[in-house]
């Protein structure tokens, strides 16, 4: 019996490696063993009530997360394609233990939102992710973005460090914790979690079309 033990150990190691590879697609927050919500499966979104004929897409994202950056053009194209038939909601989930600029980027988007330019800053952050992700200091970069967007730069920098922006981002993080979401991107359509492997333009278009058809 003992001579089979090494083979059993090798099989166990291979199984663990395969399982780990499956989950590497998304950026994931390190999971504290004492927090039950960090290991729970995401639950349905509690605020997915939308008008008839409108589909709601909710995303938990991190601006420094590469898979989020890859998903961004997919979602942006769907927004352009469906127009007012799709309502898109973005929740900040900065994974600060693995992305050093994630929190500051979230604050930049929220601060721009206070001047009515959330989506514009959101787009700039994702579309230039490969430029700023490795920068030593994100602040001058987002200040330049604010200037490009015609924002009041002094107010923008003040808001980035202010209590209101911190509360907005913190509320999104609490929502993620409440729902058991600890990876980015995590997407819900009309409150239903969309599995990671289905985050393609074809599958998302199919999900949207099915819900629009059911609502007619």
The model's pTM:
0.79
pLDDT tens string 148-197: 999 999 999 999 999 999 999 999 999 999 999 999 999 999 999 999 88
Cα dihedral sign, 138-143-144-149: positive
Give 10-residue mean pLDDT values along the chain (216 residues).
Answer: 44 40 46 36 58 88 97 94 95 96 98 98 97 95 98 98 98 96 95 92 94 72
Residue 117: helix, strand or coil by DSSP? coil
Q: How far apart are CA 178 and CA 186, in angstroms?
A: 14
Q: Within a 10 A sphere around the Cβ of 122, how many other Cβ atoms?
A: 21
Instruction: Please name the helix (run of DSSP H) or strand (run of DSSP E) that holds residue 193, with its range, or none.
Output: strand 192-194
Instruction: Please name the helix (run of DSSP H) or strand (run of DSSP E) that holds residue 86, with its range, or none.
Output: strand 86-92
Domains of the chain: 55-214 (3.40.30.10)
């Amino acid at each position: 019996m003992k001579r089979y033990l090494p083979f059993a150990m090798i099989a166990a190691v291979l199984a663990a490696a395969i399982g780990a590879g499956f989950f590497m697609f998304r950026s994931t927050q390190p999971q504290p063993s004492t927090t039950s919500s960090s290991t729970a499966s995401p639950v349905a979104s509690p605020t997915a009530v939308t008008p008839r004929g409108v589909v709601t897409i909710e995303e938990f994202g991190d601006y420094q997360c590469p898979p989020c950056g890859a998903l961004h053009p997919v979602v942006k194209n769907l927004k352009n394609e469906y127009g007012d038939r799709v309502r898109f909601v973005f929740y900040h989930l900065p994974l600060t233990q693995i992305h050093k600029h994630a929190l500051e980027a979230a604050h930049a988007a929220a601060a721009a939102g206070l001047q009515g330019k959330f989506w514009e800053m959101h787009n700039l952050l994702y579309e230039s992710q490969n430029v700023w992700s490795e920068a030593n200091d994100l602040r001058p970069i987002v200040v330049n973005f604010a200037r490009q967007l015609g924002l009041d730069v002094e107010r923008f920098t003040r808001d980035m460090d202010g209590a209101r922006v911190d509360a907005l981002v913190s509320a999104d993080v609490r929502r993620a914790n409440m729902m058991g979401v600890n990876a980015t991107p995590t997407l819900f359509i009309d409150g239903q979690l969309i599995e990671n492997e289905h985050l393609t333009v074809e599958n998302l278009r199919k999900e949207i079309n099915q819900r629009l058809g059911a609502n007619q």
